[in-house]
Each structure stands twice: as structure tokens, then as C-alpha cells.
Amino acid sequence: MTFQAAGFLDRFDDATPSGWLHPHAHPYRRISPSSSHHPDPLELVRLATEMKSRAGLNDPGTIPAGYSYWAQFLAHDLTLSVPGAEGDDPRARNARSGQLDLECLLGHGPRVDAHLYAAVGAPVLVLDERHAEYDVPRRSDGTAILADARNDDNVLVGQVHLALARAYNRLVRQMHSADGNRLSSYARARRVLTAVYQRVTVIDFLARITRTASAAQVEALRVGLAKSPPASSARTPTALPIEFITSAMRFGHSMARSEYTLNADHAAPLPLFPRRTVSPADTHLRGSSPLPRLWTVDWDRFFDDRSSAHCQMGHAINASITPAMGKVAMGNGEKLSLALMTLGAEAMFGIAAPKDVAAKLQVTISPALAKEPSLWRAVLLEAEEQADGRLGALGSALVLQGFESALAGASWAVESDASEPEALLAAVESVPALLRWGSEPRTSPRTVRGESPAAREGHAEN
């Protein structure tokens, strides 16, 4: 039994224009030297099976469910792994900049990724006017037209993508109406949205998932983002730690619930993954097909900033996964265990033992964790030991080191000539507030039925 790169390396051929990725992909880096231990694949199968059998631990945690899909979007923005060159350690490269710059949403702009943008007028992201309110744009065969195809992996990350696309379009329209220059209005809208996206990731997302002891690091990131940008905005690609990408950032797998309620109009819970190999698209949240109208996401059901009455909490971060993630149907009909895929990726890339990574980060872990063979499982087991809903010291240190690298040189500073949308966006303090800013004005699925696209302000996006 062997583990192939295809189980871990992402579907780069569908993500961006062909020919771009490999020439510009750049290496990852390591926190700790690669492991010389080669685990028995059967042992990895046992560990993955154990995580599924511990599903009784999947009790509601303290972090709203929406943050796990924000984490998935962040991971797509930070990394797109492709096969590495001879001599690379690890033998993979990152086809993303590694800088948390909305590359998975906006690609490389209207000049390079022209298929994503309107050809004339304001350089808005093209959204199908019939479906702009509730779904990402799609081709006639149902496949999504995105800078990163992975943002259609499930309905919830797709809705995060859509809200940010609408936020960008809202900004760029007003900026273009002021100066009429496509490239300058695109550049300014992208800078503003990226800065706020980075800011809420630090002050809200990282503050929620990392330990209180890490608050000083989160505050240092926040202060850094508030400073004026450097004279030159040019940045070279960032080498992210492979331990951060392969192990720590996959904590969200344990938070995933088996089913979710999307809104009041569709009160019946929908399973995250198909329960049968062949299942109609309107019976699950797997993604990769057009959404029914009643599936517009109500963010109040995924975040608790306005009211917790209907908010669904993610499962507690621990070393268990919902049974639905034990066998996830892939596009080719094959079913794979996400736990086994992650454990196999760690083995393939020689991720060091938890005790060695902890020593490099100067973090103390328990004797039980020091014996754990998998860094990913150690991160989850440590959170389980803490029992307060957040990552433990090791997981927090790994995540924060990754984001410190991704945000080096970034800044958030409102310019003196800020427009009205910039000023409004500058006041956004949380992930759900940013998603709502992009989603509104947004009518309910019932009220828009039967109206023409022209009658729905802000819905015709191209």
C-alpha cells in the first residue's frame, strides 16, 4: 500500500490558467528537519479509523460553525500545492503567493485572468445575473467559474467566496464611477478589500481559535496591520511552513458537522456530504453544481455576533471527525477518508514528530503528545486536552507562525481621501460583518422569486 501525491496535491489544473502555475510555484520551508521515520501505511489506516470511531466526541464546541469555512477559504488563498522540483524539501511547491492576498478570489487581475472579469466598464467579477444573489458563477455544465475551483468544494466555502466577490464588486463599482480607470479602480478596490480581509482574520478569526497566551502575538499582528504601507508594495512570494499547511491548518476538519441548516426558508438540515455514491445535488452540500434558490446562506446561522438563537456551533476541536468525513466521495466516484489523506500527506512530506516541532517552537507539550506520531493529531489532541474550544499551545504557535509569515509587510491604513465604501468597510471588525457587507442588500429567496434581474438592485453583477 502506498500514498500518492494525488491524494494531497490540489487540483491545480482547474484553478488558474494553464501554464501559469508551475513556472511561478515556489518552495515551502520547514520548521523542523524532515522525519527519517516512515510509518507503516496500515498504522495510518488504524489511526484514521480511530478518529472516525471517536465520533462520540463530536459535541458542539465554542466556535461558531462559520469559522471553519472561513479557515478553508484562507487555506485555499494561502496555498495551492503542486509537485516540486528535484532537490526540493519537501517535494512540493506552492502555486499561491502565500500572502493572504485574495488570490483565490481575484486571481491575477483583469489583465491576466480576463475570463473572471467584465470586459467593459467597471472591472467587476462576472456573476450570473440570474444567480448572483445566491450562487457562484457557473458554466452551462454547472462547473464554477472561479480563480480557484476548490472554492466550490462545498456550498459553505462557496458562499464565503460569493460574499467576498460581491464585496469587491460593490467597492470597484463606486471607485470606477469616480475615476473611470479600470486598472486603477481594480487596484484600489483589491487593496482595500484585501486589507480588511487580513484585518478581520487577525482580530476576529485568530483571536477566537488561538490560546489566550497567544494574545500578544495576535495584538502584534493587529498593530502591524494598522501601520502605513511601505513605499513599495512589491512583495516576493512567501515560503510558508509545510507543518502549518499540512498539519495545523487542518484543524477545521474536526470542527465540521455532519449537517447544517442554511436559513429559515430551508429549515431541514442538509448533510455536508452525499450519503450515497449517487445523490441528487439538492440533497447535500458537497458543491460543484448549481444551488437551488432556497439555499441562500443566512450568516446568523453560522456566526454568533448578532444573535446566538439560531447559530450552529462547530464541533469541538479534538482528535475526532464526523463519520461523513470518513468516506468523502471525490469527483471520480472514489471515496477517500480525509483523515487518511492528511496522515498520508504528513508521511509523504516527512513531517517531523510533534516533540521535535514543539522543541523548535519552544513549546511544552504533554508526555502523551510527545509520543504521538502525527503532528496533525497532536494539534487536535492538545486542543482536546485543553477543553476550552481553542487550539493548544503547539497548535496556536504553528498557526500564528504561518500567519505571521503570510502577513509580513502587509498593512491596513485608511487613506485620507477614502471614499464612502472604503470608510464603511474600514469600520468592519469581524468575519461575519465582512461577509454581510458583501451579501447586503440581499432579499430573501421568497421575495425575489418572479422579479426581473433589473428590478433587483445589485443583483446583476456583470
Segment 336-344 mean pLDDT: 87
- pLDDT-derived band at 352 (thresholds 50, 70, 90) equals very high
List the chain domain ranges.
23-455
Element (H, E) at 150: none
Q: Helix, strand, or coil here: 16?
A: coil
CATH number of the domain at 23-455, please?
Answer: 1.10.640.10
Phi, psi of 61 (to 5 degrees): -95, -160
SS3 call for 234: coil
Say yes or no to pLDDT of 448 above 60.
Answer: no
% of the chain with per-residue pLDDT over 90: 43
The string of DSSP codes covering 34-53 is PP-----HHHHHHHHHHHHH
pLDDT at 58: 61
- The 10 Å Cβ neighbour count of residue 131 is 18
What is the Cα–Cα distance from 431 to 416, expressed in whole angstroms?
25
Residue 454 banded pLDDT, cuts 50, 70, 90? very low
pLDDT band at 441 (very low <50, low <70, confident <90, very high): low
- 68-83 as b/e: b if 16+ CB within 10 A: bbbbbbbbbbbbbbbe
How many Cβ atoms are within 10 Å of 264's Cβ, its own excluded?
14
Cα–Cα distance, 13 to 172 (Å, whole number): 29
pLDDT one-digit tens code per residue, 220-270 = 887 777 776 655 555 678 899 999 999 999 999 999 988 999 998 877 898
pLDDT tier for residue 429 given thresholds of 50, 70 and 90: confident
Helix (H) or strand (E) holding 31: none
